[in-house]
């Protein structure tokens, strides 16, 4: 195991990394790791550094610069000066955009900055979305970047949500005391493009640099904890969840428990002007070890979302992780349900827990099950995209959303937890019509799949378009008997099992993701 712990006097090695812009200062704290320092953990597949020792502060300031362009510097410096805050010892900052949008060591002289060695830089492991490298110390990081090439353009947050590897890494970091900050960059403008809401990262409204006030607020908040509280947070893997709770609890417009237990505190993207860092610092400084809230852990006990649904036969289960569950509504049903339990949630101090379930976005019915309130049956009906108001000071009055988000918050009597989230995304780029039968049950009557012709936005990683409209026919008992497909002037009658005159319909997606992601079909002869 080789870990290089460097102070400012050893900047020659850092300068030799090439991709980095080395900064100097009398007390700069650098931690440099390279590929040979990393070992793979058996539990999660993450790579880590064993027995990591952070560099000491070489006699420089213990607090932050008074020139910080954000409130809270004097407040934090006073706490550190009186010895009631643990300060910047014990956690690390990682920049993943090669200093494009980075904290400055001159403003945070006591903070340890993580750098990657030449081999990791050569493989671009220092850039973009944080994935399978996790340190055994608390960490905050950022990458003020996005994937801008078509057709898979997306923010780093959406990139993580739409790949198994990215989702698993985000969940693993969250449980390992690490949290990253990314801009939404065109994913949350007139249309909300996110398929889910989760607490694993913080996504800022805007593009490059919009993450800066969040980074500064987060760094100062972590430094404000009492030494004993900080030790308990680190030991319990609760640094990231507690930071998420404090950020949300102190947003502009969140002034009490009722506000926190509502959509006001839990948007999928956060506007920097809603931050109130002085309140965040104060809440962190006041938290005692025996009042630390837990991390909510969810499990799906029952659901009717499946592994194969819709014409393309794709999974509806986007991800199932401890604090976030996401589903995609692909099937023809008008109503769906999940039964979700938070019963695996454990308070770090053994306090008795109660749970709050509430809708953040969209519409859903929540039916608590049992006496403890840790389990609920969630029922949703098909929902077209809607325009929802934005929270001030967001300049955009409203944005279009095609998703339901349900939050679960644990209450230990002293503090409310960060939320866990259950999300269901709807393919509203399809135009669906549902009509009631004689018994009043809603049936899918038609789907216009031609999103490309209508210029309807959709994520080609998750969804697709097709140049036809399907009309469904039912018998008197409400059973589907045929699909009548209209494609231009061509009409085709298909049985529910895919049979047509002379063969069977086989639907196919292209092997490579394209902007259109157009579904096609062919008629194959019957055996």
What's residue 2's pLDDT? Answer: 33
List pLDDT tens digits, range 450-463: 999 999 999 999 99
Tokens of 122: 């050569």
Please tell me the distance from the alpha carbon of residue 376 to that of residue 300, in angstroms, as a whole number: 10
Q: Three-class SS of residue 53?
A: coil
- Contact by Cβ (8 Å): 424, 329: yes
* Per-residue pLDDT tens digits for 423-442: 999 999 999 999 998 788 99
By C-alpha distance, which of 211, 193, 13 is closest to 97?
211
pLDDT digits (tens, 9 = 90+) for 215-267: 999 999 999 999 999 999 999 999 999 999 999 999 999 999 999 999 999 99
- Per-residue pLDDT at 87 exceeds 70: yes
Spell out the SS3 assignment of 388-431: EECCCCCCCCEEEECEEEEEEEEECCCCECCCEEEEEECCCCCE
Give which of 288, 269, 285 is closest to 277, Cα–Cα.
285
Instruction: Please tell me the predicted confidence (pLDDT) of residue 13.
Output: 28
**pLDDT of the residue at 312:** 96
Confidence of residue 527 (pLDDT cuts 50, 70, 90): low
Q: Higher model confidence: residue 253 or residue 5?
A: 253
User: DSSP label at 465?
Assistant: B
Helix (H, G, I), strand (E, B) or coil at 507: strand
Percent of the chain at pLDDT exceeding 90: 85
Calpha distance 126→117 (Å, rounded): 9
Q: Tell me the C-alpha distance between 360 and 11, whole Å.
A: 48
16 pLDDT more than 90:
no
pLDDT band at 477 (very low <50, low <70, confident <90, very high): confident
Q: Taking the model in full, what pTM does it have?
A: 0.93
Q: Is the pLDDT of residue 59 over 90?
A: no
Give, as one character, the DSSP assignment of residue 241.
H
- pLDDT score for 19: 29
- Is 331 in contact with 312 (CB distance < 8 Å)? no
pLDDT of residue 12: 28
Q: What confidence category does residue 526 fall into, taking pLDDT thresholds of 50, 70 and 90?
A: confident
pLDDT band at 4 (very low <50, low <70, confident <90, very high): very low
Average pLDDT of the segment spanning 483-510:
93
Strands (E), 214-321: 299-303, 317-321
- Tens digit of pLDDT for each residue in 175-212? 999 999 999 999 999 999 999 999 999 999 999 999 99
pLDDT of 11 over the 50 cut: no
- Among 135, 139, 176, which Cα is nearest to 33's? 135
Domains with residue ranges and CATH for the chain: 60-115+127-291 (no CATH), 299-425 (2.60.40), 431-524 (no CATH)
DSSP assignment of 122-135, as one string? HTTTTSSS--SB--
Which of 389-398, 408-417, 476-485 has the least mean pLDDT?
389-398
Q: Which residues contact 120 (CB under 8 A, 6 or more apart)?
A: 33, 34, 35, 126
The three-state secondary structure class of 292 is coil
């Amino acid at each position: 195991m080789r870990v290089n712990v460097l102070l400012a006097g050893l900047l020659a090695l850092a300068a030799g990394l090439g991709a980095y812009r080395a900064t100097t200062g009398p007390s700069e704290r650098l931690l440099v790791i390279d590929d040979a320092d990393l070992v793979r953990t058996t539990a999660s597949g993450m790579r880590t550094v064993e027995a990591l020792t952070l560099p000491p502060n070489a006699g420089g300031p213990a607090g932050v610069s008074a020139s910080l362009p954000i409130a809270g510097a004097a407040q934090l410096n006073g706490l550190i000066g009186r010895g009631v805050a643990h300060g910047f010892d014990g956690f690390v900052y990682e920049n993943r955009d090669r200093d494009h949008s980075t904290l400055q060591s001159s403003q945070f002289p006591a903070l340890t900055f993580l750098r990657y060695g030449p081999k990791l830089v050569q493989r671009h492991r220092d850039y973009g979305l944080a994935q399978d490298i996790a340190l055994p110390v608390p960490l905050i990081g950022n990458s003020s970047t996005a994937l801008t090439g078509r057709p898979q353009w997306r923010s780093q947050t959406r990139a993580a949500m739409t790949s198994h590897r990215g989702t698993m890494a985000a969940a693993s970091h969250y449980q390992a005391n690490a949290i990253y900050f990314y801009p939404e960059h065109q994913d949350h403008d007139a249309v909300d493009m996110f398929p889910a809401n989760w607490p694993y990262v913080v996504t800022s409204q805007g593009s490059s640099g919009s993450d800066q006030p969040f980074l500064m607020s987060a760094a100062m908040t972590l430094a404000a904890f009492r030494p004993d509280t900080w030790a308990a947070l680190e030991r319990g893997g609760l640094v990231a969840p507690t930071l998420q709770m404090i950020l949300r609890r102190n947003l502009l417009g969140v002034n009490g428990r009722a506000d926190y237990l509502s959509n006001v505190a839990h948007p999928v993207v956060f506007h920097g002007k809603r931050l109130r860092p002085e309140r965040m610092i104060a809440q962190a400084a006041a938290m005692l070890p025996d009042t630390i809230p837990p991390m909510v852990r969810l499990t799906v006990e029952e659901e009717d979302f499946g592994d194969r649904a819709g014409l393309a036969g794709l999974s509806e289960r986007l991800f199932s992780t401890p604090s976030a569950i996401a589903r995609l509504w692909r099937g023809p049903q008008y109503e769906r349900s999940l039964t979700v339990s938070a019963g695996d949630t454990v308070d770090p101090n053994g306090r008795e827990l109660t749970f709050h379930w509430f809708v953040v976005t969209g519409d859903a019915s929540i039916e608590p099950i049992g006496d403890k309130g840790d389990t609920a049956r969630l029922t949703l009906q098909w929902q077209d995209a809607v325009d929802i108001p934005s929270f001030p000071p967001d300049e955009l009055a409203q944005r279009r959303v095609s998703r339901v988000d349900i939050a679960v918050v644990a209450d230990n009597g002293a503090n409310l937890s960060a939320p866990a989230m259950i999300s269901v995304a709807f393919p509203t780029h399809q135009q669906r019509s549902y009509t009631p039968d004689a018994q009043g049950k809603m049936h899918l009557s038609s789907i216009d799949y031609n999103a490309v012709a209508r210029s309807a936005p959709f994520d080609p990683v998750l969804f697709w378009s097709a140049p036809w409209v399907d009309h469904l026919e039912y018998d008197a008992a409400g059973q589907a008997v045929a699909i009548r497909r209209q494609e231009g002037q061509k009409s085709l009658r298909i049985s529910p099992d895919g049979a047509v005159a002379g063969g069977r319909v086989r639907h196919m997606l292209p092997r490579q993701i394209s902007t259109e992601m157009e579904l096609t079909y062919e008629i194959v002869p019957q055996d």
